[in-house]
Amino acid sequence: MDELREAAAAWLAQDPDPDTRAELKTLLDADDTAALADRFAARLEFGTAGLRGELGAGPNRMNRVTVMRAAAGLAARLLSGPPAPPTADRSPGTPERSGAGGRPGVVIGYDARHGSERFALDTAAVLTGAGLRVWLMPRPLPTPVLAFAVRHLGADAGVMVTASHNPPRDNGYKVYWGDGAQILAPLDAEISVAIDAVGRVDELPLGGPGDWTVLDESIVEAYLRALDGLPLGDGPRDVSVAYTPLHGVGLEVLRRAFERAGFPPPQVVPEQARPDPDFPTVAFPNPEEPGAMDLATALGERQDADLVIANDPDADRCAVAVPAAGGWRMLTGDEVGALLAEHVLRHTHGDDRLVVTTIVSSSLLGRIAAEHGVRFAESLTGFKWIMKARTAPDDRQVFGYEEALGYSVGGDGGVPVLDKDGIGAALTVAALAAQAKRDSRTLLDLLDDQARRYGLHATGALSVRVRDRALIADAMTRLRRTPPASLGGRAVARVDDLAAGDGGLPPTDGLRLHLTGAEGRARVVIRPSGTEPKLKCYLEVVLPPGDDVDAARARATTALDTIRTDLDTALGLG
């Protein structure tokens, strides 16, 4: 207890935030050992996803001290030498990196979560105090605007203060490098080492508001102009959309994007239209979660909409629902990814085009790429990997997606944002739906077309949450030693241990099981979550092409259910 009290007292002495100071003083006065240990016996680790955690006092929470230390570590890394050479292409016509022959520059964005603006201002103060050039976004804006701005401004790095679709009490700190993509190893480790070397934050030199540039609306206009290059086609714009930003920051930018592209303004869920960091109408502000889209689909029903679209709170993800027999049907990320990929490839040109998805997403994208004669790559999970995937030096990436509702859509000039972009994806989905509507068809009809052409690729998931992360490590060890002989009546024909860097990919803790049976093929990928105490499993069943798609979907659903049941037993975590 003495060590915890000493650590808490040292933190209290440097903390500039009266709220977390009061929280910490209350815990010290109450001798609340458990609460102090929860805050001080561990710390938030800085990794390729930056920082993310619950708001509160101490190194195991997101707060002003944690953020200032992170900013000081980032500054130290930028000042220690030339930035690592980019491994993704800079957008045509963008200026040279600001640090070339001058001070390194960082652009900072933030969303509307609790603490986001304050954390952005603290970051600006620390970076300018360290001698860096800083641009600050003019107001809370979507994450893809920040990711775009890094390349547009020729910055050496970018910081986005957001926890995306996490619960209300969370916040986070995402770092981009000068190529406009999220950082990868070894940069994360180098920044983490620099953070560890930071002393007291009340001894850091700090800049003031006059030391950084607050951007104006021209940065949003530049982002919207970049979306002009999306492959929307010159077809109809007659599509009725019901939309929700889920209490986030997407609405105003999406409205402007729709107007600029000639689409009717979307009907917006009024209860969820304004940014609200408490997310009062949803249990969890993630459009993948059950119930999160209920208000949006209800609006779609009342308005007789063609389409329901949702962004998550920082608008980097895009969810889609369509009218179906018996109500609205949420499309999976793999279904939207397949539709967008084929649309992009029909509206772009060149055999140097590259499309990318992750090892846990559907294998359908590879089939689509082969049919269109373009290049295809698989990456590890996450857009930080998708945007670094290459099959050849002259690859021109025009599309990337992951099953978790993340898409980066591009045209012949490549992708305008080297990260997932829920605004650009929403625009492209609207264009695709409008073209289908012109032909008296729907997105469901287009999915059926793909099933007949490429075979039915049905995907599902199993996620097991545990209290003790050691149980996950034990389960992975057990599966490696003794993988199941069969799942869902299908033989496990091969097991790929992804820790060995299968297929030229960087090593990662995961297993890929290939299943064979009387009809089609199946695959299961198992990996621990990088952010939560979960073991995540991704299932796919592929059935041969056929005319009776409804019957094939029913068989695939049954196959997924039986595989999921057997897998749950094999994991031994229930």
Helix (H, G, I), strand (E, B) or coil at 60: coil
Q: Are 160 and 174 in contact (CB under 8 A)?
A: yes
Backbone angles phi, psi at 342, to 5 degrees: -65, -35
Query: Strands, DSSP E only, in 430-485?
Result: 456-465
Helix (H, G, I), strand (E, B) or coil at 290: coil
- CA separation for the pair 112, 471 (Å, rounded): 36
- In the set 164, 361, 363, 379, the catalytic residue is 164
Q: Are 569 and 478 in contact (CB under 8 A)?
A: no
Here the contacts of 250-254 (C-beta below 8 Å, separation 24 or greater) are: 250/142, 250/311, 250/313, 250/314, 250/315, 250/422, 250/423, 253/141, 253/142, 253/145, 253/220, 253/223, 253/224, 253/315, 253/423, 254/311, 254/315, 254/423, 254/426
The token duo for 438 is 């012109």
Buried b (16+ CB within 10 A) or exposed e, 553-564: bebbeebbeebb
Write the burial class of residue 236 (CB in 10 Å: 0-12 exposed, 13-18 middle, 19+ buried).
Answer: middle
Sheet holding 534-543, edge to edge: 456-465, 534-543, 521-528, 511-516, 490-497, 486-487
> Which residue's entry shows tokens 């264009």?
431
Give catalytic status of residue 192 as yes or no: no
Is residue 82 reached through a cis peptide bond, with omega within 30 degrees of 0 on the bond before it? no
Orientation of helix 18-29 relative to helix 2-14, angle to 10°: 160
Provide the residue type at 212 as one letter. W
Q: With CA atoms as reference, report the closest residue to 570 among 562, 139, 379, 124.
A: 562
Residue 265 per-residue DSSP state: P
What length is written for the chain? Answer: 574
**Distances, alpha carbon 535 to alpha carbons 48, 473, 478, in Å:** 19, 9, 13
Pairing of strands 511-516, 241-244: unpaired
Active site residues: 164
